[in-house]
Amino acid sequence: MKSKQRLLAAIDGNIPDRLPCTTHELIPYYLKNDLNGISEAEFFESFQLDKTVWLNPLKAQSEAGQTLITAHDIYQPFVETDTWKLDVENIHQSGRLGKRFTIITPQKSLTMVLEYNKYTSWVSEHLIKDPMDIDFIALYAPNQSCDNEAVRTAAAAAGDNALIRGMIPGFDIYGQPGCWQDAACMFGIEDLIYKTFDDPSWVNSFLSILQKRKLAYLDTMRESVCDSHSVAEGVCEGGYDIVELGGGDASTTVISPDIFRKFVAPFDEPIVEKAISQKLRVTYHTCGGMMPILEDIADLGVTAVETLTPIGMGGDANLAEAKRRIGDRVCLIGGFDQGHFFTNATEAEVEAEVLRCFRDAGEQGGFILTPSDHFFKANPNLLHAFSAAAKKCRY
């Protein structure tokens, strides 16, 4: 099997020729500073991992007066209109570099600040400061649209050599796929948790606004779907093989299972249902605690769950238990402690850990071995050991 066939076999609950082994989305810092600036394609070639192509191309609806802004180091492209405009200011505060983003509407301007270092970026001033701010989003924020042509072009270029992976886009500038996760990026996770107790109706209104935009985005994705014939042939001519929903702020190391059931699942489940009805596979990303809500995640109707973060990385995943509880319903993705085994372990220890993961979760397929999230440092020799050990895990 080639990479796409192997990964899709596991995702669809079938048995591939061997254990699929890939990585979560690559961090530019690592490629630039540790691997002499190689491309993602060169990374997969060098380490002989199953190749994944991540993309989330948006497009502007010019007939609706939209313009797409991708500059300014923003995480999520901004769709600008006459009533939803963007102004950007470079700032330097407390010895840190950042940008202040101002969204201008006919009634009020909303501001947020992103700060940066050589590794990544983060929100230091959240967009939503007043409960009434969500009303301006509902009134003026344009819906996002998928650039299906770009997805199809990437799929055609990859052929059966790579999985094509996207996500339900987060809110403009800096957002993430799930409704709860998106709201946390915009309002702050602690304040959002407090609001579930102090003003749950407002939280429901906020999440409903974000859900409506994500459902509208799915309407534009109908041409970015892999049909059954192309999957059977091992080539997805339609586009996406799988899309991501969820987010770490929905994990049980951040919120309680009760909050997940009341404020996360009810808003993400209709998105999953619509995506699945459009023949899109969905992976639910929870980079943190998952064990108390494993069945709740599977009940969303998703195709796969990730990242099965082990205790050493701050999660709680037990691969064997996860396989026993939901492995017959969804594909399991992740489970590998990259913090230790890509930096401080021996090659023999890496091989032993890969074999353990395979033993615990790989039975009868339906498991993809990956690091439990991004990584900023990795010893190339240990990455090679990771890949080589996976190749020994055959069904």
Residue type for 316, please?
D
Residue 228 has pLDDT above 80, yes or no: no
Interior/surface letters 20-40, b for 16+ CB within 10 angstroms, e for the rest? bbbbbebbeebbeeebeeeeb
Q: How many CB atoms lie within 10 A of CB 129?
A: 15
Handedness of CA 185, 190, 195, 197 (dihedral sign): positive
Residue type for 364, please?
Q
Please give the angle made by the CA atoms of 52, 157 and 284, to the nearest 5 degrees.
30
Residue 26 has pLDDT above 80, yes or no: yes
Averaged over 295-322, what is the pLDDT? Answer: 97
Q: Which residue in this structure is represented by tokens 């026993």?
A: 324
Contact 178, 250 (CB under 8 A): yes
Averaged over 198-209, what is the pLDDT? Answer: 98
Give the strand pairing for 58-59 and 67-69.
Answer: unpaired
Residue with more model confidence, 226 or 216: 216
Residue type for 341, please?
F
Query: Predicted confidence band at 96 (pLDDT cuts at 50, 70, 90)?
Result: confident
What pLDDT score does 229 carry? 43
Tell me the chain's radius of gyration from C-alpha atoms: 21
Nearest to 57 by CA among 223, 191, 294, 282: 223
For the chain, what is the largest distance between any 2 Cα atoms, rounded to a whole number of angstroms?
62
Q: What gap in Å lies between CA 66 and CA 172, rounded to an integer? A: 13
* Residue 41 DSSP class: H
Lowest mean pLDDT among 1-10, 22-31, 120-129, 228-237: 228-237
Averaged over 108-131, what is the pLDDT? Answer: 94
Residue with more model confidence, 223 or 222: 222
pLDDT tens track for 51-93? 999 999 999 999 999 999 998 878 889 999 999 999 999 998 7
| String of DSSP letters for 46-113 | HHTPPPEEE---EE--GGGT-EEE--TT-SB-EEEBTTBEEEEEEEEETTEEEEEEEEE-SS-EEEEE
Give the distance from CA 195 to its chain's centroid. Answer: 25
Give the distance from CA 58 to its chain's centroid. Answer: 16
Does pTM surpass 0.85?
yes
Q: List C-alpha distances in Å: 140 to 63, 83, 174.
A: 17, 6, 18
In percent, the amount of the chain with pLDDT more than 70 equals 96
Q: What gap in Å lies between CA 158 and CA 25, rounded to an integer? A: 17
In percent, the amount of the chain with pLDDT more than 90 equals 88
Q: What gap in Å lies between CA 115 and CA 121, rounded to an integer? A: 6
The three-state DSSP-derived secondary structure of 133-187 is HHHHHHHHCCCCEECHHHHHHHHHHHCCCCEEEEECCCCCECCCCCHHHHHHHHH
Give the strand pairing for 163-167 and 242-246.
Answer: parallel
Among the four given CATH numbers 3.40.50.620, 3.20.20.210, 3.30.1490.100, 3.30.70.20, the one describing domain 3-57+143-391: 3.20.20.210
- In the chain, where does the domain assigned CATH 3.20.20.210 lie? 3-57+143-391
In the three-class reduction of DSSP (H, G, I as helix; E, B as strand; rest coil), residue 261 is classed as: helix
Q: List C-alpha distances in Å: 52 to 55, 58, 66, 152, 258.
A: 10, 19, 31, 15, 34
Mean pLDDT of all residues belonging to the chain: 93
What pLDDT score does 95 carry? 73
3-state helix, strand, coil in the chain (%, to 5): 40, 20, 40
Q: Which residue in this structure is represented by tokens 């899709």?
A: 8
Q: List C-alpha distances in Å: 288 to 126, 246, 250, 310.
A: 22, 11, 8, 8
Averaged over 222-243, what is the pLDDT? Answer: 62
Give the distance from CA 27 to its chain's centroid. Answer: 13
Averaged over 296-312, what is the pLDDT? Answer: 97
Q: Which two tokens stand for residue 283?
A: 């992976």
pLDDT tens track for 349-387? 999 999 999 999 998 899 999 999 889 999 999 999 999
